[in-house]
């Protein structure tokens, strides 16, 4: 019998539906209470809810009535306030902080682009750090390397921007700038002058070609410099605040896209990691892992998967996923994500799946070829926060020299260094272990603890597979640097 | 009508001389097969065990029996169909080809039917551990030899349903049951007790116990000791004296090697529990429980962490009994292991058996506990009577193991998640999309459940083994085994 008459339990789906109609303040409060009560649980749901809420915040404008933003600084300050509230609602959910910092990063990038547009009008260097000196039209610094040299300046014949020596050597202006876009957009590295500069103006250098490219754009090598384009086209007069909102919303739409295609992108590397006849150990009901394995199974690779059921927090979801895939009933999280949320169970794809209790991990590990895990969050040091029981699996894997592969989208990657490891572990409902009703006396006399997450050090992990490809734990700091800004890491206290 | 019959008969008569000797042979063979098939059909029906209404361990054994009977019945059916077809074709004219093809058809039909049945059965078997199937559990008395004593029968069922769990407990219970069985034994006229008792009386009891659950190492050692004892009895000794002797010796064995040993081990191990200790233990071991209770009785103040696991939840019973004794107990599921090990100062583990390469065979999950403690520099101490020491060696937990029925992993129906129906579906679609739960696992191809009972902990993780011969390092296990179990 359908239970359509009961009011829907608050969840991601109901929240997302209400986001469009409800006033902004109410939406913020609702999300805070959903997070506090842990009615939104998984990393991806939290990320999605946070992103959509922040999109609403940007859309609402400075005065809250869909108006403009006077400056990027105002927008940044506002997002920081909202972000602080969300993070303090559930400090153990690292992904919320990640999304807030990504949004701030998008805004700062927009701000930089705008300030560069302004800077270009006065003919400064287009690559390398924007120097305050060049904006005022004074003589520019001697370029240290050829890549800082801009042939465009030679063509436009602006004095004082190009080195006279360089212009004489570069006697063939026939090489049209269009044929050398890679020089203009290549990373400059750091010239010695840059270390003397104020760090805030160095913002341009952190955007490297390895950062998440906005979905649908070309690769950096082919993309012409945006500022180059702006010099040959007419510069829009004033109206900077209109640009801010539209451009930020563009950036946030790209972020939202990234969240929805994370699984597909991660699954693209499935064939590089799984061959036929393998035995894989995994745990939990993570959608990412299921899709990863399904992709390999779809390409006719025959392998066996041992699944640890993660009692007492995740085992029901694991049982359901193994039996049904995501066939009906569709979980509220799948609905809210708007993906083609239907995928069949691994067993239907021809994969042999063996459900084992968590205790059997060490016993089976000698026969396992690799371990696949999906964490709640990943730290910049390479360590991760995952479901309770993960550390047991990683230790057993290390003992038997079995490689551990962690599948995580970049949105799970946090720039915050985990100084307080124990403080990051979340504890859950002890009644899942021993029911209050059945064993009241037991609960009275015995201290029942139910940790939900485990902290696993970086040495436990062999490889991270993100939506940008695979990387070793030691390289994560670079990925962090590509997506977050240093000034956003400290969001201050409320 | 009669014309047809007579003409058919005439045709048959006319056919007879035309049949070559080869054809005659084939016909005789067909008739013999038909007779055998009819016999099997009669046999097949009563051998199918009646379905019992007992609880979960309905027993893989009976399930397998049923499938095998089904298989036989299907083969029988196929054969009989083919036979009737072939006999029919023999009567009609001009069907020379039919008999030979009908002869070969049953064989072909048999293999395909059998193969399909085999495939259906095997899909629930995890290939890696296929040597441990079929799973030995018993819920009823079907197929039991008539020699098995009622005390042993009852014991088997108790062991199978985990009412008696733990290798020391099973060993003591088995010896008591054997005592009763020996008491009820009478030597036949033309043989003597030492010669007859073991091979003709004890063996069926042991076989029955094995079919209820694979024997524990302690039980194996006790049986070897008992057999040796019986064989060394003087054949001229009168029967009642011999039986009294056996009874006394069994009592002495239990007393010396288990009861007193447990007291000695508890006294020795409780010295390891100091003031302010945090003792971590896993699942439920009788000897560890005794140790903890003794230390508590001596007045030491300490607290205990009990780590538990699915599906047996033995740790809960330990935690309850310790709580009733007044101890401060913390109870975590297995996923909480990493959280509690950092607080522990001592890990006490029980054993199913100690292997001769220093490894510990104990409840599944013990290896992870020992590894985690070893990494955190927490000493791991195993309390184990010498009766559990084995001469076997093992390198992994896969070859020497025992599987429990996968049904034990299924949650009771009240715990199954309530599945909301999709209101948009039409009634027909809803029926076909009816969601399955894990309870339907056997019908889902490629899905298997695995429920191993033991695992092997490498010797490097164990600091010390406490037995009645003292506190020894794990490498001394074969020495103690020779001393205690092989009398050298």
ipTM above 0.85? no
Q: Which residue of chain A is at minimal alpha-carbon distance from B447?
A: A353
In A, which residues are within 8 Å of B437 by CB distance?
Answer: 319-320, 323
pLDDT at B429: 45
Question: Which token pair is B17?
Answer: 């001389």
Q: Are B249 and B282 in a shared domain?
A: no
Q: How far apart are CA A131 and CA A113, in angstroms?
A: 15
Q: Are B318 and B251 in a shared domain?
A: no
Residues near A386 by Cβ (< 8 Å), separated by ≥ 6? A373, A374, A375, A376, A453, A454, A456
Q: How far apart are CA A67 and CA A368, in angstroms?
A: 58
Highest mean pLDDT out of A206-210, A341-345, B159-163? B159-163
In A, which residues are within 8 Å of B371 by CB distance?
Answer: 362, 395-396, 399
Burial class of residue B120, CB neighbours in 10 A (0-12, 13-18, 19+): middle
Burial class of residue A141, CB neighbours in 10 A (0-12, 13-18, 19+): middle
Q: Are B257 and B280 in a shared domain?
A: no
pLDDT at B50: 43
- Chain-centre distance for alpha carbon A433: 33
More confident residue, A335 or B445: B445
pLDDT at B23: 77
In a domain, B317, yes or no: yes
- Chain-centre distance for alpha carbon B446: 23
Of A50, A45, A56, the closest CA to residue A98 belongs to A50
Cross-strand bridge partners of residue A280: A305, A370
In this structure, is the dihedral angle defined by the CA atoms of residues B340, B345, B351 and B356, taken in order, positive or negative?
positive
pLDDT over 60 at A125, yes or no: no
pLDDT at A460: 86
CATH number of the domain encompassing residue B223:
1.20.120.420
Can you state the angle between helices B21-47 and B60-91, rounded to 10 degrees?
A: 150
Q: Which residue of chain A is at minimal alpha-carbon distance from B443?
A: A323
Decide: A392 and A404 in contact? Cβ < 8 Å: no
Q: Are B37 and B186 in a shared domain?
A: no
A242 pLDDT tier (thresholds 50, 70, 90): low
Q: What are the pLDDT digits (tens) for A246-258?
A: 889 999 999 999 9
Polymer length in residues for chain B:
488
Q: How far apart are CA A373 and CA B267, in angstroms?
A: 45
Q: How many CA atoms lie within 13 A of A73 on its CB side?
A: 1
In a domain, B190, yes or no: yes
Q: Are B355 and B468 in a shared domain?
A: yes
pLDDT at A112: 87
Q: Are B252 and B370 in a shared domain?
A: no
pLDDT at B243: 92
Decide: A144 and A191 in contact? Cβ < 8 Å: yes
Q: How many domains does chain B have?
A: 3
Phi, psi of A275 (to 5 degrees): -115, 175
Average pLDDT in chain A:
77
In B, which residues are within 8 Å of A308 by CB distance?
Answer: none
Q: Are B221 and B314 in a shared domain?
A: no
Q: How far apart are CA B379 and CA B55, in angstroms?
A: 41
CATH number of the domain encompassing residue B291:
3.40.50.10470
To the nearest whole angstrom, how far is the Cα of B404 from the nearest Cα of chain A? Answer: 12
Helix, coil or strand: residue B182:
helix
Q: Are B296 and B250 in a shared domain?
A: no
Only one residue has tokens 């991660």, namely A266
Q: Are B287 and B394 in a shared domain?
A: yes
In a domain, B54, yes or no: yes
A222 pLDDT tier (thresholds 50, 70, 90): very low
Of A317, A323, A371, A331, the closest CA to residue A347 belongs to A323
Last residue of a domain, which of B261, B292, B323?
A: B261
In B, which residues are within 8 Å of A313 by CB distance?
Answer: 335
Q: What are the pLDDT digits (tens) for A401-446?
A: 999 999 999 999 999 888 888 888 999 988 888 888 877 888 888 9
In B, which residues are within 8 Å of A354 by CB distance?
Answer: 126, 448-450
Q: Please identify, in words, the CATH class of the domain defined by A268-488.
A: alpha beta
Domain A12-124+237-251 has CATH 1.20.120: yes
More confident residue, B163 or A490: B163
In a domain, B163, yes or no: yes
Q: How far apart are CA B14 and CA A432, in angstroms?
A: 83
pLDDT over 60 at A57, yes or no: yes
In a domain, B228, yes or no: yes
pLDDT at B159: 94
Last residue of a domain, which of B96, B115, B130?
A: B96
Residues near B150 by Cβ (< 8 Å), separated by ≥ 6? none
Q: How far apart are CA B220 and CA B235, in angstroms?
A: 25
In a domain, B19, yes or no: yes
Q: Do B441 and A323 touch (CB under 8 A)?
A: yes
More confident residue, A87 or A11: A87
A369 touches chain B (CB under 8 A): no
To the nearest whole angstrom, how far is the Cα of A408 from the nearest Cα of chain B? Answer: 21
Q: Are B226 and B296 in a shared domain?
A: no
A147 pLDDT tier (thresholds 50, 70, 90): very low
Q: Are B223 and B84 in a shared domain?
A: no
Longest dimension (CA), chain A: 91
pLDDT over 60 at A202, yes or no: no
Of A364, A142, A41, the closest CA to residue B126 belongs to A364
pLDDT at B90: 44
Q: How far apart are CA A155 and CA A158, in angstroms?
A: 8
In a domain, B328, yes or no: yes
Where in the sequence is the domain holding B291, given as residue range(s)? 275-403+452-487
Give 10-residue mean pLDDT values along chain B (488 residues).
48 53 80 81 52 42 47 48 46 44 47 50 79 87 87 94 92 96 90 89 93 94 94 90 94 95 95 94 95 95 94 93 95 94 95 95 96 96 95 92 92 60 48 68 90 95 95 94 84
Q: Do A388 and B336 touch (CB under 8 A)?
A: yes
A240 pLDDT tier (thresholds 50, 70, 90): low
pLDDT at A437: 82
Decide: A323 and A348 in contact? Cβ < 8 Å: no
Q: What is the pTM of this model?
A: 0.74
Q: How far apart are CA A91 and CA A35, in angstroms?
A: 10
A130 pLDDT tier (thresholds 50, 70, 90): very low
In a domain, B423, yes or no: no
Last residue of a domain, which of B261, B284, B315?
A: B261
Q: Do B334 and A387 touch (CB under 8 A)?
A: no
Q: Are B299 and B256 in a shared domain?
A: no
Q: How far apart are CA A115 and CA B462, in angstroms?
A: 65
A338 DSSP assignment: T
pLDDT at A443: 87
Q: How far apart are CA B114 and CA B42, in angstroms?
A: 20
pLDDT at B144: 86
Burial class of residue B377, CB neighbours in 10 A (0-12, 13-18, 19+): exposed
Domain-wise residue ranges, chain A: 12-124+237-251, 268-488
Q: Which residue of chain A is at minimal alpha-carbon distance from B283?
A: A359
């Amino acid at each position: 019998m359908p239970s359509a008459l009961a009011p829907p339990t608050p969840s991601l789906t109901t929240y997302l539906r209400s986001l469009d109609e409800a006033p902004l303040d109410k939406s913020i409060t609702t999300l805070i209470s959903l997070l506090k009560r842990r009615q939104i649980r998984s990393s991806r749901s939290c990320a999605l809810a946070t992103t959509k809420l922040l999109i609403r915040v940007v859309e609402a404008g400075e005065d809250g009535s869909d108006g403009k933003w006077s400056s990027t600084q105002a927008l940044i300050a506002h997002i920081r306030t909202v972000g602080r509230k969300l993070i303090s609602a559930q400090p153990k959910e690292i992904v919320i902080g990640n999304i807030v910092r990504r949004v701030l990063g998008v805004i700062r990038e927009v701000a930089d682009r705008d300030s560069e547009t302004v800077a270009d009008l006065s003919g400064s260097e287009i690559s390398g750090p924007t120097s305050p000196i060049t904006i005022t039209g004074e003589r520019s610094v001697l370029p240290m390397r050829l890549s800082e040299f801009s042939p465009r300046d030679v063509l436009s014949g602006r004095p004082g921007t190009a080195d006279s020596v360089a212009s004489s050597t570069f006697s063939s202006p026939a090489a049209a700038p269009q044929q050398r876009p890679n020089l203009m957009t290549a990373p400059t590295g750091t010239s010695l002058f840059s270390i003397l500069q104020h760090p805030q103006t160095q913002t341009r250098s952190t955007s490297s070609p390895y950062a998440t490219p906005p979905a649908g754009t070309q690769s950096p090598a082919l993309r012409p410099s945006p500022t180059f384009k702006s010099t040959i086209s007419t510069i829009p007069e004033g109206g900077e605040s209109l640009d801010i909102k539209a451009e930020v919303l563009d950036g946030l739409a790209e972020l939202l896209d990234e969240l929805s295609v994370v699984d597909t992108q991660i699954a693209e590397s499935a064939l590089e990691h799984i061959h036929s006849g393998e035995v894989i150990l995994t745990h939990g009901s993570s959608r990412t892992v299921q899709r990863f394995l399904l992709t390999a199974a779809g390409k006719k690779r025959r392998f066996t998967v041992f699944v640890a059921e993660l009692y007492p927090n995740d085992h029901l979801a694991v049982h359901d996923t193994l039996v049904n895939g995501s066939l009906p009933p569709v979980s509220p999280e799948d609905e809210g994500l708007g993906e083609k949320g239907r995928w069949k169970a691994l067993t239907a794809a021809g994969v042999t799946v063996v459900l084992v209790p968590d205790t059997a991990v060490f016993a089976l590990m000698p026969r396992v070829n690799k371990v696949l895990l999906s964490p709640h969050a990943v730290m910049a040091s390479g360590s991760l926060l995952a479901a309770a029981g993960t550390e047991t699996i990683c230790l057993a894997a290390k003992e038997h020299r079995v490689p551990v592969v962690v599948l995580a989208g970049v949105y799970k990657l946090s720039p915050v260094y985990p100084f307080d490891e124990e403080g990051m572990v979340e504890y859950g409902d002890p009644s899942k272990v021993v029911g209050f009703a059945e064993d009241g006396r037991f609960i009275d006399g015995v201290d029942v603890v139910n940790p939900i997450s485990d902290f696993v050090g970086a040495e436990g992990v062999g490889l991270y597979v993100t939506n940008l490809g695979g990387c070793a734990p030691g390289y994560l700091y670079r990925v962090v640097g590509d997506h977050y800004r240093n000034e956003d890491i400290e969001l201050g206290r409320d | 009508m009669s014309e047809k019959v007579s003409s058919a008969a005439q045709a048959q008569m006319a056919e007879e001389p035309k049949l070559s000797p080869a054809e005659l042979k084939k016909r005789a063979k067909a008739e013999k097969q038909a007779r055998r098939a009819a016999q099997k059909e009669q046999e097949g029906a009563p051998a199918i065990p009646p379905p019992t209404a007992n609880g979960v361990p309905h027993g893989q054994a009976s399930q397998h029996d049923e499938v095998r009977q089904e298989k036989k019945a299907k083969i029988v059916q196929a054969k009989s169909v083919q036979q009737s077809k072939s006999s029919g074709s023999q009567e009609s004219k001009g069907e020379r080809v039919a008999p030979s093809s009908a002869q070969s058809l049953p064989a072909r039909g048999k293999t395909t039917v059998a193969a399909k049945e085999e495939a259906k059965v095997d899909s629930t078997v995890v290939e890696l551990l296929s040597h441990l199937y079929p799973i030995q559990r018993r819920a009823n008395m079907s197929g039991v030899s008539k020699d098995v004593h009622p005390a042993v029968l009852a014991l088997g069922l108790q062991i199978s349903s985990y009412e008696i769990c733990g290798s020391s407990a099973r060993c003591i219970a088995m010896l008591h049951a054997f005592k009763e069985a020996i008491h009820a034994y009478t030597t036949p006229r033309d043989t003597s007790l030492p010669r007859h008792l073991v091979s003709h009386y004890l063996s069926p009891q042991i076989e029955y116990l094995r079919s209820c659950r694979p024997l524990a190492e302690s039980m194996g050692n006790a049986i070897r000791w008992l057999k040796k004892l019986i064989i060394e009895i003087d054949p001229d000794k009168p029967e009642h004296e011999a039986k009294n002797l056996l009874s006394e010796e069994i009592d002495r064995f239990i007393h010396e090697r288990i009861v007193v040993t447990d007291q000695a081990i508890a006294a020795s191990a409780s010295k390891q529990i100091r003031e302010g200790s945090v003792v971590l233990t896993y699942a439920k071991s009788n000897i560890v429980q005794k140790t903890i209770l003794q230390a508590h009785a001596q007045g030491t103040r300490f607290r205990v962490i009990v780590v538990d696991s699915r599906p047996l939840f033995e740790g809960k019973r330990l935690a309850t009994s310790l709580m009733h004794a007044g101890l401060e107990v913390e109870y975590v599921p297995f996923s909480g292991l990493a959280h509690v090990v950092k607080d522990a100062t001592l890990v006490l583990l029980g054993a199913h058996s100690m292997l001769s390469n220093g490894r510990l065979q104990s409840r599944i999950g013990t290896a992870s506990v020992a590894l985690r403690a070893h990494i955190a520099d927490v000493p791991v101490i195993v309390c184990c009577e010498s009766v559990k020491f084995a001469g076997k060696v093992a390198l992994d937990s896969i070859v020497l193991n025992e599987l429990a029925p996968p049904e034990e992993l299924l949650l009771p129906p009240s715990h199954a998640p309530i599945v909301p129906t999709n209101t948009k579906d039409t009634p027909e679609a809803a029926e076909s999309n009816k969601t399955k739960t894990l309870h339907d696992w056997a019908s889902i191809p490629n899905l298997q459940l695995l429920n191993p009972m033991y695992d092997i902990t490498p010797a490097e993780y164990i600091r010390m083994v406490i037995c009645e011969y003292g506190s020894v390092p794990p490498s001394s296990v074969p020495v103690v085994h020779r001393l205690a179990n092989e009398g050298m």
